[in-house]
Amino acid sequence: MSLAYGARDEAVQRGLELSLLDVGGRDPAERLAKQVRELAARPVDFLLIGGGDGPAVASAVDEAAARNVPMAGLSSLVSAEQLVFKLGPDRYGVGRTQAECLGGALGGRGGLGLLVGPPDDAPSLELSQGFKELLQRQFPNVQLVAERAAALDRAASAALVADWLRRWPTLAGLATGTEAMALGTLDALAATGRLGQIKVAVASLGPSTEPSLRDGGIQCGVAQQAVAEGRVAVRNALAFLASQPYEKNVKSPPVLVTRDSFSKIDWAAIRAP
């Protein structure tokens, strides 16, 4: 929603028409594939594709490419070969930022658990790599004792973290990839009376986890500059259409958010009003 808001608002300011279709569908991939097909069949100048993965989306993108419709990906897993440019958060930087905050909160010592997305997900792999590399280099006395790469919902995350707490009772910190994982982690800590004692960092701070950041349940979060990315996508597309220089791989820097910095953050670049 915030990506779309940024792109739409930027388009309005420049007097452009930006269409966002509500086509229905059983799942996000199916809806996106239908959107791509319907828009590519119109006389559009450029397609901005947010998110998306899987055979249905890939097939729709191939069809659009065959029509010579220029496309760009916003936080998208669509193959770069079919795109004019890709734009999204610096996932490697997100992992580094998360590790730096959590390692510092632990005073550079203790055991950590890391819970990220599925093992075949490129953004999750980049996040995990950035996290581990900074932890090893900057906090050699912080040990990663537990790790799980899986697409877990809130309940499954709570069950996993509860098991970790039984196996490693001295665990000092937990890093999560998604909001659902963070909420499940908080559920497990609350159930064991350790909420606020174990430091928690979330790599995708959003409305669901902000209250826990403000009350101390979450030590720090990393926010994506989604609105700003949407604006840059429109400007980049216009540059391409005007045969002007443009960036082919745009990575927006992560924004570290803590309880103390929350009120100082430029939320206009992050979230739609």
Can you tell me the distance from the alpha carbon of 265 to that of 224, in angstroms, rounded to the nearest whole number?
12
Other beta carbons less than 10 A from residue 192's beta carbon: 15
Closest by CA to 267, choosing from 230, 234, 235, 224, is 224
Supply the pLDDT for residue 27. Answer: 81
Pick the CATH number of 2-83+225-252 from 3.20.20.120, 3.40.50.2300, 1.10.10.10, 2.20.130.10: 3.40.50.2300
Evaluate whether 2-83+225-252 and 91-223 have a shared fold: yes
Which CATH number is 91-223's, of 3.40.50.2300, 3.40.30.160, 1.20.1090.10, 3.40.50.2000?
3.40.50.2300
Q: What is the DSSP letter of 263?
A: G
Q: How far apart are CA 112 and CA 247, in angstroms?
A: 37
Residue 269 has a CB neighbour count (10 Å cut-off) of 18
- Whole-number pLDDT of residue 29: 83
Give the start-to-end residue ranges of the domains of the chain: 2-83+225-252, 91-223
Residue 149's contacts (CB-CB under 8 Å, 6 or more residues apart) are: 116, 117, 118, 119, 124, 128
Among positive and negative, which fits the CA dihedral 115, 212, 96, 94?
positive
Q: What is the pLDDT of residues 39-80, one digit of tens each?
A: 999 889 999 998 777 788 889 999 999 999 999 999 888 888
Q: Which pLDDT score, from 0 to 100, does residue 65 have?
A: 92
| pLDDT given at position 54 | 75
Compute the distance between CA of residue 201 and CA of residue 114 in angstroms, rounded to an integer.
10
- Bin 108: left if φ > 0, else alpha if -120 < ψ < 50, else beta: left
Instruction: List CB contacts of 168: < 8 A, sequence separation 6 or more.
Output: 111, 113, 145, 146
**Is the pTM of the predicted complex or chain greater than 0.95?**
no
Q: Which residues of the chain have pLDDT under 70?
A: 25
